[in-house]
C-alpha cells in the first residue's frame, strides 16, 4: 500500500485527538482554578476536598484513572442500582481533564501565593471583600505567571490522549495501530504519526504563546 492511503484514516484519528485535547484542556483548566483556589480557602471542608482531589489525581497513574472511569465506575454503579456507564469519549475527556486539572491546581495555588503580601495588606486597608481581593488583586497578577506552565501542561495533555486508544476510542494512536496491524508497515505508519503529533504540539504551543502574550499585557497595564 502507498503511504498516502494511510493519511485519510490517520486524519480522522487526528481529529478525535484534537477534540479530546480541546475539551479536556478547557475542562482541566476549570478544575485547576476551582481546586487551586479551593486549596487556599479558609473553609476546612473546601480545602480538604481540594487537597484530596489534587493528591489523588497527581499520585495515581492516568492510565489507571482512565480504566477506573471506563471499566470500574459502571460496576460500582450497578452495585448501587445506578447507570454510571460512560461513553469512551466522555471517559477519555474526564480522565484527561481530572489529571491535568490536578497538576494545574498546584500551578494556580503557587501563582496566587506568589503575589506580594503587601498587595493583600493594601486591599485589607481598602476594605476589599475576599471576592474582590481574588478578582481584582490575586488573579490579575497571578494568571500571567501561570501561563508558561499551563502551556507545558497543554502539550503534555495532547500527548496523553494516546492512552484513550486503550479503551477503543478511535483517536490517532488507535487508527495507527489498526493500519499497522493490517499493513505491517510499522516504520511508515509510526513516522507519520510522530510527525502528526509533533505538528499538533507546535500548534498548541503557538496558541498558548499567543494567549500568554495577551495575558502578559495585564501585568504591563497594572504597572
Give me the pLDDT at residue 217, please: 72
Residues 209 and 151: their CA atoms lie apart, in Å, by 7
Residues 34 and 30: their CA atoms lie apart, in Å, by 6
Give me the percent of the chain exceeding a pLDDT of 90: 57
Q: Between helices 4-39 and 88-113, what is the axis angle to 10°? A: 50
State the cell numbers at 223: 504597572
State the cell numbers at 25: 484542556
In terms of phi and psi (left: phi > 0; alpha: psi -120 to 50; beta: otherwise), the region of 116 is beta
Kindly tell me if the per-residue pLDDT of 136 is higher than 90: no
**Can you give the CATH number for the domain in which 188 is found?**
1.10.3720.10
For residues 17 and 1, the model is more confident at 17
**Residue range 10-14: average pLDDT?**
91
Tens digit of pLDDT for each residue in 162-200?
999 988 888 889 899 888 888 888 888 989 999 999 999
pLDDT category at 220 given cuts 50, 70, 90 is: very low
pLDDT category at 122 given cuts 50, 70, 90 is: confident
Kindly tell me if the per-residue pLDDT of 222 is higher than 70: no
Question: What is the domain count for the chain?
Answer: 1
Give me the pLDDT at residue 223, please: 47
Give me the pLDDT at residue 89, please: 92
Residues 113 and 57: their CA atoms lie apart, in Å, by 22
Tens digit of pLDDT for each residue in 26-72?
999 999 999 999 999 999 999 999 999 999 999 999 999 999 999 99
C-alpha closest to that of 146 among 100, 117, 114, 119: 114
Give me the percent of the chain exceeding a pLDDT of 70: 96
Residues 94 and 67: their CA atoms lie apart, in Å, by 11
* Block residue for cell numbers 479503551: 167
> Residue 69 has what DSSP assignment?
I
Using alpha carbons only, how large is the chain's radius of gyration in Å?
A: 21
C-alpha closest to that of 137 among 121, 160, 158, 156: 121
For residue 188, give its domain range: 4-222
Give me the pLDDT at residue 95, please: 96
Amino acid at each position: 500500500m502507498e503511504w498516502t492511503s494511510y493519511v485519510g484514516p490517520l486524519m480522522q484519528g487526528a481529529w478525535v485527538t484534537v477534540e479530546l485535547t480541546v475539551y479536556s484542556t478547557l475542562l482541566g483548566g476549570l478544575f485547576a482554578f476551582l481546586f487551586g483556589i479551593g486549596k487556599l480557602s479558609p473553609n476546612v471542608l473546601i480545602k480538604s476536598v481540594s487537597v484530596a482531589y489534587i493528591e489523588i489525581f497527581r499520585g495515581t497513574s492516568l492510565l489507571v484513572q482512565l480504566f477506573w472511569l471506563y471499566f470500574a465506575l459502571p460496576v460500582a454503579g450497578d452495585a448501587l442500582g445506578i447507570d454510571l456507564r460512560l461513553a469512551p469519549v466522555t471517559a477519555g475527556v474526564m480522565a484527561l481533564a481530572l489529571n491535568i486539572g490536578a497538576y494545574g491546581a498546584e500551578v494556580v495555588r503557587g501563582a496566587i501565593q506568589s503575589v506580594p503580601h503587601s498587595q493583600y495588606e493594601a486591599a485589607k486597608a481598602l476594605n476589599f471583600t475576599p471576592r474582590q481581593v481574588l478578582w481584582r488583586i490575586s488573579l490579575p497578577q497571578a494568571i500571567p505567571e501561570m501561563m508558561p506552565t499551563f502551556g507545558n501542561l497543554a502539550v503534555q495533555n495532547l500527548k496523553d490522549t494516546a492512552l484513550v486508544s486503550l479503551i477503543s476510542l478511535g483517536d490517532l494512536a488507535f487508527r495507527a495501530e489498526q493500519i499497522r496491524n493490517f499493513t505491517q508497515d510499522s516504520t511508515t505508519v509510526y513516522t507519520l504519526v510522530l510527525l502528526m503529533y509533533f505538528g499538533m504540539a507546535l500548534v498548541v504551543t503557538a496558541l498558548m504563546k499567543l494567549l500568554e502574550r495577551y495575558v502578559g499585557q495585564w501585568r504591563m497595564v497594572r504597572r
